[in-house]
Amino acid sequence: MKKFLSVALAATSCILFFSGNKHYSYADAQLTSGCKSACLMDAYSGEIIYEENAEAHMPIASVCKVMTLTLCFDAAEQGKLDLDGTVTVSDRAAGMGGSQVFLQSGLEYPVSELIKSIVVCSANDSCVALSETISGSEENFVAAMNKKAEQLGCENTLFANCTGLPKETQYSCARDVAVMFANLINHQKYFEYSKIWLEDFQHPDDRITTITNTNKLIRKYSYCDGGKTGFTNEAGFCLAATAIKDNLRLVSAVLGGSTSDDRFESTVSLFNYGFANFKNKMVLDCNVNLNDKLPVSRGKKESVAIKPASDCYVFCAKDEEPDITFNLITCQAVAPLAKGDEIGKIEVYKDGVLCAEVALVCAEDVQRASFFDNWHKIADNWQL
């Protein structure tokens, strides 16, 4: 059953369609300083807010680990990696250079601690240890990274390793990095690690390595709760980051910074611009019933109150009033029904384009009608 309805606009977990098809450009001047490319987008809709040279192929150094972490969390959700399990570190993993937590070959480490070390201090040895565990080899893991990038529509990205250490065939671009990072933060587990500033990493042989977050914005910018830095001489200083304020979550990517301060200051500039000019407009409130009721068969009541299962927000500019319409798709309602039972979905349209779907649920219980309830109904109708 399909019907258009009017709701009491007063619906955060809804299915949002990551389009990235609309480009806003309110800035009169370049927002970054000392960086070769940049991209700022709404994390949930994928709508681009601001870009600079965003499709240029560039090395991204350790920002590559955004995809490494994505595959780790994907594997955990698919049951291929036990976050409470352990990993035995290979000679190859232990011998990785660059940023590391100095894993010892042959020792067993908790999976969750290895992931944490990648998020917080960009540990190359942990990346390789997990890649070998998930895919059998880093080479197989890299193939999976490229497949995932293709699935996300990242046409200007090619991975050659899981660490971001220099390799000629490896590149990405600011827009693809923003898309990949927006996908990573769909894993809420990520935020359990991303806000850690300083912590001791405990080795099985009782050694301790102190890990420090490479993303300084965790302490310097109050709205930032996650990010991934990267640096090599070839890539310069890079940063993918996210920040949230007033229900608006932004994702930024800056690549090729001349200095470390360039990437952090440019990211703050992007976030400030985004929060000043854009908003997420609430269009459905999970605490407010819809105006319409749904007919119920075989129930003590003839209809049931309905409401969205979750809040829903629509991204737009602060000076914009988009045309928001709704399409209600329902199942046949047959008693008994319990409060919270899913009974359909609400499609949310922004300016005629489908932008979100929200589950539709019963807002009350409806008991099944008894023989006597039905007899009274027949009697009442007869008297009429």
- The reply to whether omega before 322 is within 30° of 0 (cis) is no
146-192 pLDDT, tens digit per residue, is 999 999 999 999 999 999 999 888 999 999 999 999 999 999 999 99
**pTM for this prediction:** 0.87
pLDDT at 375: 52
Domains of the chain: 2-15+283-375 (2.60.410.10), 35-257 (3.40.710.10)
pLDDT at 383: 54
Of 170, 217, 214, 200, nearest to 67 by C-alpha is: 170
pLDDT at 2: 34
pLDDT at 29: 73
Q: What is the 3-state secondary structure (H, E, C) of 20-85?
A: CCCECCCCCCCCCCCCCEEEEEECCCCCEEEEECCCCCECCHHHHHHHHHHHHHHHHHCCCCCCCC
Q: What secondary structure does DSSP assign to 218-269, as a single string?
A: HHH-TTEEEEEEEEETTTEEEEEEEEEETTEEEEEEEEEESSHHHHHHHHHH
> For all residues of the chain together, what is the average pLDDT?
91
pLDDT at 7: 26
294-312 in b/e burial notation, b at 16+ Cβ within 10 A? bebeebbbeebebbbbbbb
pLDDT at 21: 46
Question: Exposed/middle/buried for 335, CB within 10 Å: 0-12, 13-18, 19+?
Answer: middle
Query: Does pLDDT of 41 surpass 80?
Result: yes
Q: What secondary structure does DSSP assign to 137-169, as a single string?
A: SHHHHHHHHHHHHHHTT-TT-B-S-SS----TT
